[in-house]
Structure 1
Amino acid sequence: MTPVFPFTESRPVRFSGALPARVDVTVIGGGIAGVMTAWFLRQKGLSVLLCEKGRIAAEQSSRNWGWIRQQGRDPGELPIMIESLAIWKSLAAELGEALGFQQTGVMYLGDTAKDMDSFEAWMEHARAHQLDSRMMTAAEVSGMLKDSAKPWKGAIFTASDCRAEPWVAVPLLAAAAEERGVILRENCAVRALDLAAGRVAGVVTERGRVACDQVVVAAGAWSRLFLGREGVKIPQLSVLSSVCATTPMPEIYPGAAADGQIAFRRRADGGYTLAPGGSEHDFFIGPDAFASMFKFLPVLKNDFRATTFRMAAPQGYPDAWSTKRRWKADEVSPFETCRILNPKPSQKALDRLLTGFAAAFPGLGRPKLQASWAGMIDTMPDVVPVLDHAPIPGLTIATGLSGHGFGIGPGIGRVVADLVTGGPVGHDLSRFRFSRFNDGSKIAPGPSL
């Protein structure tokens, strides 16, 4: 498979056409969570419109690492992720090899004894859900990773975890959703909700109004900005994560693995997708960052050394100083002035990554790259999403997947579809409730890896 990196507006609009006058549900956001929510809503027999301001999956849903993992999940997410893996398997059986789905395992490598202790602690959750996760010795790691030279202490490994090709998979899922009757529209920003008697009556897009009774906001890094315009506040921010793709190279391991410095995942074309391991990222300081500072302090304390602070986001970004927070429904919105978030990767971070990879696998040397990019990860103070009804009747929020969205996206879609229709969700969603940010709850990351 020849990889495609569809990250810019130069990619032709694939999903176009006139807007319907009315649908049952409008989904805002064409990432994997939005696409799969639309998929399952349509499966229930509802008429569904999905509006994407730019291109389907052009932001974080195609810029991620391509991991589909149960391992290391927050315990609240784990049941949904287990279901999501089952959905991925059914999608792969239906859509074929083009999805890039492979069950090749995920491995977290331990640099220190502290890492190994954290892995062992998480095994409690693996055992509770009867996962096949297991601890590995240093010798076992050395035997699994070909020609590795780094003295890892050991690892935690989940053989049932998987990988897929994100820039191929999500557009493929969108096309399949359209075949099932979902109406998808690219280059169609939703500017505002249309409310009647305090509840959702429709949406106002840049192309006109569409009547509907329900709206799902699954807009990733743009969700806070859209919701804020409607008076709904969530403490969501975005961090920049840099990634690169190597040219084809000898296989050292067929799955995905990471330590505190490097993360790598085998691709279908014979190359590897590489990213800085751990939680290294860049953070732009803007008005939303100041407003949410105290809620994010627990995360910043844990990740401070791995965070590079930048004083301002590029013009047009959700938390840029010049980005409008208020606009009328008949005015051009911020979603139209920045169709696709396409940040520049951190070359310093990628240089450290490539040096670290070469040191870990000296026989391969410094990898040759065919592409590098960055994505804006929508994150929450407790690193889990909001999956809940908003204070506005008819409005449901599905955002803040915190860099974990690609793998869990199909499961999130099924859950949100049931939230919208009032059906039995099948999982405890209290960890993801909207009210947790203002009901006095302690907001902190859970025991994930």
Structure 2
Amino acid sequence: MAGFPISMGNAPEFEGALPEAADVVIIGAGVIGIASAYYLANKGLKPVVVEKGRVAGEQSSRNWGWIRQQGRDLAEIPIMVEANRLWKEIAEAVDEDIGLNVCGLTYFAETQEALAVYEDWLEQARPLGVDSVILSPAEIEAKFPGMTKSYVGALHTPSDMRAEPFLAVPALARAAVAAGAVIVEDCAARALERENGRVSGLVTEKGIIRTQEVIVAGGSWSSLFLRNEGVNIPQLSVRATVVQTGAVPDIHQGGANGSKLAFRRREDGGYTLAASGFHETFVGPDCFRHFRTYLPQLMEAPFSHNYRPMSPKGYPDGWGTRRRWRGGDVTPFEKMRILDPAPNARKVEEIRARFEALFPALGKVEVERSWAGMIDATPDVVPVVDRAPVEGLSICTGMCGHGFGIGPAFGRIMADMVTGGDVGHDLHRFRLSRYSDGSKLILGPDL
């Protein structure tokens, strides 16, 4: 269904047999895993991606479709600047329309205090290469004619972009295969095989593949797989609800965020809408296990999430979800091929009504579809991108809802990390050991 997140209703596109060996095996066919395979294949290597469900079946086709530099953690900005360049290269290389547009993204400020936060971020970010600017109320009105709400200012980044995630990631997957990668859908990773303490292979439900390098890029499922291997990541998942409108007149070609509403133009003539700053945490065992690690975030913004009393059955942090298994066992990954949470129905109507009220000239705004996704979140709101304490194992996860835009750059980084190349950026901020070495966690910007 055009414009809708990829699901098990989509026939598998990548059904090849599992190879006996690979230079690198990647767990997870979201944007990070697929980009890693793409850049490894373009190095002349033979990467294999194993995916329990479908390419981009979870958050990689359910996100807002923003490709943004603005508001990023300072350590992410140079990587995101690279990602902007790589997305343009990808759009040319795939020879498919992925809906990539340089449209600019905007954050509205309702108060002087909020505007001061944007100004402070910009002062620190400008030397890192962003072209962000502060807009005056008059400039906002010119960019968003007919908007009923007034703002004291806004943060705007002209070079930020948008794309259609459900088109972009599968297109990149096809390009990766054309370059020599292998992708196997309906193939869950179960466990690592090791020799003398280092990775020697990966056990999957379709057999064993020999390799000395494995990348875990499983999004919300990463921490569950890693815990079974003795690697602890304090990662949780939160639900985010998204709305797709029917076709409406164009009120702005880019995307914007403010007044509890985010919106961006779609290639099909509608808008993708979301409730900005609204996430729902389903409480499960890991919420209690990682409580102390998340305490700084909770103290900073205790009501930033809405808490649901029980994580649903089969979710990564479900109360009955199995947390220990062997390579011959059926795993939680096979029992839930695609994590497909229901959207928050009350929030869907609230989002629609807010958008309609903000732009009354549109008339009645119809909801064409709605969905939800589970975002892999970390205590400090920045990802884990690092070598694991198991030789031959690497991790790229915890994108905190920011993974689609930055995905190509982290994929390129992982391709160089596992081959001994120059990763090109300072990754100290993203090290796994920050959660265990006594370091004080520094929260990323809540922008």
CA 1:302–1:359 in structure 2 vs 1: closer, same or farther (change >3 Å)? farther
- After the TM superposition, which of the residue ranges 350-359 and 332-341 deviates more from structure 2? 350-359
Task: After superposition, give the CA deviation of every residue in 1:135-160 in whole Å (9 maximum; x if it has no partner).
Answer: 01111111111210102111111100
Letter in 1 for 2:94: L
* Distance in 2 between residues matched to 1:391 and 1:97, nearest whole Å: 39
Letter in 2 for 1:293: F
* Distance in 2 between residues matched to 1:363 and 1:97, nearest whole Å: 34
Give 1:270's aligned residue: 269
Secondary structure of the structure 2 residue equivalent to 1:141: helix
* Distance in 2 between residues matched to 1:97 and 1:175, nearest whole Å: 10
Letter in 2 for 1:54: G
- For 1:323-342, list aligned pairs within 5 A: 323-342=321-340
Letter in 2 for 1:99: I
CA 1:447–1:308 in structure 2 vs 1: closer, same or farther (change >3 Å)? closer
Secondary structure of the structure 2 residue equivalent to 1:378: strand
Task: After superposition, give the CA deviation of every residue in 1:336-389 in whole Å (9 maximum; x if it has no partner).
Answer: 000000001112222222222222112224520111000000011111111100
Give 1:94's aligned residue: 93
Give 1:5's aligned residue: 4
Give 2:391's aligned residue: 393
How far the C-alpha of 1:130 sits from its partner, in A, is 3.2
- After the TM superposition, which of the residue ranges 229-238 and 107-116 deviates more from structure 2? 107-116
Letter in 2 for 1:33: I
* Distance in 2 between residues matched to 1:433 and 1:60, nearest whole Å: 23
Say whether 1:416 aligns with 2:405. no
Task: After superposition, give the CA deviation of every residue in 1:202-253 in whole Å (9 maximum; x if it has no partner).
Answer: 0000011010010000000000000000000000000000001000101111
Give 1:287's aligned residue: 285
Task: After superposition, give the CA deviation of every residue in 1:38-83 in whole Å (9 maximum; x if it has no partner).
Answer: 1111122221110000000010000000000001100010010000
Give 2:70's aligned residue: 71
* Distance in 1 between residues matched to 2:182 and 2:132, nearest whole Å: 40
* Distance in 2 between residues matched to 1:262 and 1:152, nearest whole Å: 14
How far the C-alpha of 1:268 sits from its partner, in A, is 0.5
How far the C-alpha of 1:97 sits from its partner, in A, is 5.4
How far the C-alpha of 1:16 sits from its partner, in A, is 0.6
How far the C-alpha of 1:291 sits from its partner, in A, is 0.6
Letter in 1 for 2:81: I
Are the equivalent residues in 1 in contact too, given 2:212–2:392 (CA < 8 A)?
yes
Give 2:255's aligned residue: 256
* Distance in 1 between residues matched to 2:154 and 2:281, nearest whole Å: 29
- After the TM superposition, which of the residue ranges 125-134 and 163-172 deviates more from structure 2? 125-134
Letter in 2 for 1:56: V
How far the C-alpha of 1:309 sits from its partner, in A, is 0.7
- For 1:153-164, list aligned pairs within 5 A: 153-164=152-163
- For 1:216-255, list aligned pairs within 5 A: 216-255=215-254
Give 2:427's aligned residue: 429
* Distance in 2 between residues matched to 1:158 and 1:405, nearest whole Å: 18
CA RMSD after TM alignment: 1.2
Are the equivalent residues in 1 in contact too, given 2:387–2:394 (CA < 8 A)?
yes
Are the equivalent residues in 2 in contact too, given 1:126–1:132 (CA < 8 A)?
no
Task: After superposition, give the CA deviation of every residue in 1:413-439 in whole Å (9 maximum; x if it has no partner).
Answer: 011111111111110000000111011
- For 1:77-88, list aligned pairs within 5 A: 77-88=76-87
* Distance in 1 between residues matched to 2:107 and 2:61, nearest whole Å: 23
**Structure 2 residues without counterparts, runs of 5 or longer:** none
Give 1:312's aligned residue: 310
Give 1:50's aligned residue: 49
How far the C-alpha of 1:96 sits from its partner, in A, is 4.1
Give 1:32's aligned residue: 31
Give 1:194's aligned residue: 193
TM-score, scaled relative to structure 2 = 0.98
Are the equivalent residues in 2 in contact too, given 1:136–1:154 (CA < 8 A)?
yes
Letter in 2 for 1:294: R
Are the equivalent residues in 2 in contact too, given 1:138–1:152 (CA < 8 A)?
yes
Letter in 1 for 2:271: Y
Are the equivalent residues in 1 in contact too, given 2:376–2:398 (CA < 8 A)?
yes
* Distance in 2 between residues matched to 1:22 and 1:15, nearest whole Å: 17
Letter in 2 for 1:359: A
Secondary structure of the structure 2 residue equivalent to 1:135: strand
Secondary structure of the structure 1 residue equivalent to 2:361: coil
Are the equivalent residues in 1 in contact too, given 2:74–2:125 (CA < 8 A)?
no
Match of 1:370 among 368, 371, 379: 368
Give 1:443's aligned residue: 441
Secondary structure of the structure 1 residue equivalent to 2:97: helix
Letter in 2 for 1:154: G
* Distance in 1 between residues matched to 2:170 and 2:202, nearest whole Å: 24
CA 1:96–1:115 in structure 2 vs 1: closer, same or farther (change >3 Å)? farther
Say whether 1:344 aligns with 2:339. no
- Matched-pair identity in %: 49
* Distance in 1 between residues matched to 2:225 and 2:350, nearest whole Å: 36
Letter in 1 for 2:160: D
- After the TM superposition, which of the residue ranges 110-119 and 50-59 deviates more from structure 2? 110-119
Are the equivalent residues in 2 in contact too, given 1:381–1:444 (CA < 8 A)?
no
Are the equivalent residues in 1 in contact too, given 2:59–2:374 (CA < 8 A)?
yes
Are the equivalent residues in 2 in contact too, given 1:354–1:366 (CA < 8 A)?
no
